[in-house]
Amino acid sequence: MTHENEHSEALFLTSSYVFDSAEMAAKSFSDEIQGNVYSRYTNPTVRSFEQRLAMLEEAERAVATSSGMAATLAVIMALLESGDHIVCSRDVFGSTRVMMDKYITKFGVEVSYVPLANLSAWQNAVKANTKMFFCETPSNPLSEIADLEGLSQIAKKANSLLVVDNCFCTPVLQQPLKWGADIVVHSATKYIDGQGRALGGAVVGNAELMDQVQGFLRAAGPTMSPFNAWIFLKGLETLSLRMKAHSANASALALWLSQHPKVSKVFFAGLPDHPGHSLAKKQQSDFGAVVSFVVDGGRDAAWQVIDATQMLSLTANLGDAKTTIVHPATTTHGRLSPEALQEAGIQQGLIRIAVGLEDLEDIKNDIELGLSQL
């Protein structure tokens, strides 16, 4: 007699679960017994994804969300209250900044912005009511690097939580908890999926903090769908291979761009002259796949380059097997004021490339099509 089990993870496409008795239902809803209650907050497929991601980050627990932005929202809503203060790096993802300024502040939470790499600025921004430090490293789109150990020390002295967006690196290239972070957030939409198929996010940290995040998600509902969790489980299986290949392509492309006569500046921490190069080598096992560069001529020149490419995908998403190209000042960071764009160092001539898994020469040739228009 053979014993057969499916090789692929089971996909539980159900909204709710049936109980054997009224008593079991009551105990399940009150958390007296562990079990599946309702797929908004308990689903076996989602739980499998959470457990595997937590292991990759070497954390006690991960909590899955409906998107990367939902992960950031859940952390803030679960762990802060009116009167608290966030110190945030000024070059976070554009939607993160809009959420902070337009919505989080409506609930009485203060937000101050500081340069990511300037530890003194972080220290000087601390107030009596500071409860959270929030940063993204490497930053989007300029690949600035945060000193996570230094930030952790400042945060701990201020009795504040250090939250790190690890979207660009994934746990394959960087594990912020090892460097003193309290919480990691992910957009699983990006490299964890790896093929631009599904939206999702995650929050990772110790069990006590994650219980509070889970409580908010249970009540508010921005949770991950089982089908998307199943896709992300598949993505995790190839994540290490993909991140190494992405990084190798990006390093070679950044070097080529840095020597190109039509490119005035390249932003990539893998280049030795990048100010965060040494720190990135210390904290990361490789440099990731996002390369940004500046062309002279402002927005018109950048658009000309982008529009002339034929193979690259013009989309704001990243983390795809396909190389993507975008103009940050009018897309990912387009809702920022001109002052905020200038403060974040995002020029009109800046182009962001999220380097995919195609043949490197094909990627170069397509970018050359664009640069040759200048």
Q: CA Rg, the chain, in Å?
A: 21
Q: Please give the pLDDT value at position 4.
A: 60
The crossing angle, in degrees rounded to 10, of helices 44-57 and 226-258 is 40
pLDDT band for position 117 (50/70/90)?
very high
Question: Rounded mean pLDDT of the chain?
Answer: 95
Q: Please give the pLDDT value at position 34.
A: 87
Q: Please give the pLDDT value at position 8.
A: 81
Domain 22-234 in this protein, CATH class:
alpha beta
pLDDT digits (tens, 9 = 90+) for 268-318: 999 999 999 999 999 999 999 999 999 999 999 999 999 999 999 999 999
Alpha carbons 306 and 336: distance in angstroms, whole number: 21
Spatial contact of 291 and 253, defined as CB atoms under 8 Å apart: yes
Q: Do domains 22-234 and 238-371 have the same CATH topology?
A: no
What is the topology classification, in CATH, of domain 238-371? Aspartate Aminotransferase, domain 1 (3.90.1150)
DSSP state, 161?
A: E
pLDDT band for position 2 (50/70/90)?
low
The residues near 109 (Cβ < 8 Å, ≥ 6 apart) are 76, 80, 81, 82, 83, 84, 85, 86
Q: What is the arrangement of strands in the sheet containing 350-354, beginning at the earlier edge strand?
A: 265-267, 290-294, 350-354, 324-326, 313-314
Q: Please give the pLDDT value at position 3.
A: 56
Total length of the chain = 374
Spatial contact of 50 and 64, defined as CB atoms under 8 Å apart: yes
Map out the domains of the chain as residue ranges. Answer: 22-234, 238-371
Q: Lowest mean pLDDT: which of 1-10, 12-21, 66-75?
A: 1-10
pLDDT band for position 213 (50/70/90)?
very high
pLDDT digits (tens, 9 = 90+) for 59-73: 999 999 999 999 999
pLDDT digits (tens, 9 = 90+) for 240-265: 999 999 999 999 999 999 999 999 99
Q: Lowest mean pLDDT: which of 84-98, 205-219, 267-281?
A: 84-98
Alpha carbons 281 and 340: distance in angstroms, whole number: 29
Q: What is the distance, to the nearest Å, from the Cα of residue 231 to the centroid of all Cα atoms in its chain?
A: 17
Spatial contact of 369 and 309, defined as CB atoms under 8 Å apart: yes
Place of tokens 């950044």: 254
Spatial contact of 179 and 282, defined as CB atoms under 8 Å apart: no
Per-residue pLDDT at 1 exceeds 60: no
pLDDT digits (tens, 9 = 90+) for 312-365: 999 999 999 999 999 999 998 888 888 888 888 899 999 999 999 999 999 999
Q: Please, where are the H alpha helices in 275-337? A: 277-283, 298-308
pLDDT digits (tens, 9 = 90+) for 172-186: 999 999 999 999 999
- 251 burial (CB, 10 Å; 0-12 / 13-18 / 19+) is buried
The dihedral region occupied by 187, where left means phi > 0, alpha psi between -120 and 50, and beta the remainder, is beta
